Amino acid sequence: MRAAAGGPHEAGGSHISGGERLVPPSEVEFRVQELVRRALLHEKGEPDFLCVTVERVPQEAVRSLSALPISKRDVRDLEEGRSVAVEILAEAGISREAALRAVAWLAQGPAPDGGAMRGAIVMDADTGERLESDPARGVRVSRIDWHPDELPAWQDEVRHLGIANERVAEALALATKVVQTPGTVAELCWSDDPGYVTGYVASKRHGYVRIPFLKERGSPLGGRVFFVRGISTVEEYETALQTPVLLRREEKKRHDV
């Protein structure tokens, strides 16, 4: 699902909401309804363009991945949050220059109109150069969801941490897939939802590290940056981000939140 205001995305509309589900045929109708409701009730405002695509994915094409371990870094404010994000990215092998550029892009609004993008920035992990061919669209991760038997169990495991919600479940699923996609070194994300200021850095080395302040409350700016090294083309990289994946719980429990 993707929703925009001021016309379709491809005609310059600004991004309001997006979402992906990978479900059995019996759940399609209900899940589509949920996604449409999400778009219509979004904090960023009412969309005037809403596109829902439903496609069949053969079961044998679906891979299973184990969720990244979750941890949290306590920070006092936005400045500390961003500096911790840069520090973790540097530890993960991203040049400081690229990490700082990524933070600056998300803070200033990475789309050409100064708003949020529909998809993610793809950034060279060494030079900080943006590689996506369409800077309004970016690249999209699709065909991703939790294994139906695993999500309730994961929610039970993390309920005491206050993160057993759809937003964190979706973000963790996406980050896990992105980090396991060949060419990815790390990901930086904070929401473009004005009321949500927590973001994360994800990498194979650190897992999914939540940072409670990465933006100003009330700001509609945010998004995702995928730091890459050694990919042949962004198109091939995006194709890999769209192979079907269902998420399982982390194999070895380490919820140090």
Are the C-beta atoms of residues 137 and 119 closer than 8 Å to each other? yes
Check residue 200 for interaction with ligand PML (CB under 6 A): yes
- Shortest distance in whole angstroms from residue 22 CB to ligand PML: 18
**Does an H or E element contain 108, and which?**
helix 96-108
Contact region with ligand PML (CB under 6 A), list: 33-41, 79-87, 150-158, 194-202? 194-202
Residue 142 or 191 having the CB closest to ligand PML: 191
Number of residues in contact with ligand PML under rule CB under 6 A: 11
Starting at the earlier edge strand, list the strands of the sheet with 49-51.
Answer: 14-18, 2-5, 49-51
Residue 167 or 204 having the CB closest to ligand PML: 167
Contact region with ligand PML (CB under 6 A), list: 4-12, 27-35, 198-206, 227-235? 198-206
Candidate list 125, 185, 188, 189; residue touching ligand PML; CB under 6 A: 189
* Position with the least CB separation from ligand PML: 191
Residue 124 or 224 having the CB closest to ligand PML: 224
d(CA 70, CA 172) in angstroms, rounded, equals 8
Check residue 199 for interaction with ligand PML (CB under 6 A): yes
Check residue 89 for interaction with ligand PML (CB under 6 A): no
DSSP string, 77-107: SHHHHHHHHHHHHHHTT--HHHHHHHHHHHH
Q: Which residues contact 216 (CB under 8 A, 6 or more apart)?
A: 78, 197
Candidate list 67, 171, 201, 202; residue touching ligand PML; CB under 6 A: 171
Q: Which residue has the tokens 């911790």?
A: 84
Phi, psi (rounded to 5 degrees) for 37:
-60, -40
Candidate list 9, 82, 210, 215; residue touching ligand PML; CB under 6 A: 210
Are the C-beta atoms of residues 207 and 185 closer than 8 Å to each other? no
Closest CA to 62 of 238, 219, 244: 244
Closest CA to 108 of 221, 241, 197, 234: 221
Candidate list 167, 204, 205, 229; residue touching ligand PML; CB under 6 A: 167
Residue 87 or 193 having the CB closest to ligand PML: 193
Candidate list 17, 191, 203, 219; residue touching ligand PML; CB under 6 A: 191
Question: Which 8-state DSSP code applies to residue 122?
Answer: E
Residues making contact with ligand PML (CB under 6 A): 167-168, 171, 189, 191, 193, 196, 198-200, 210
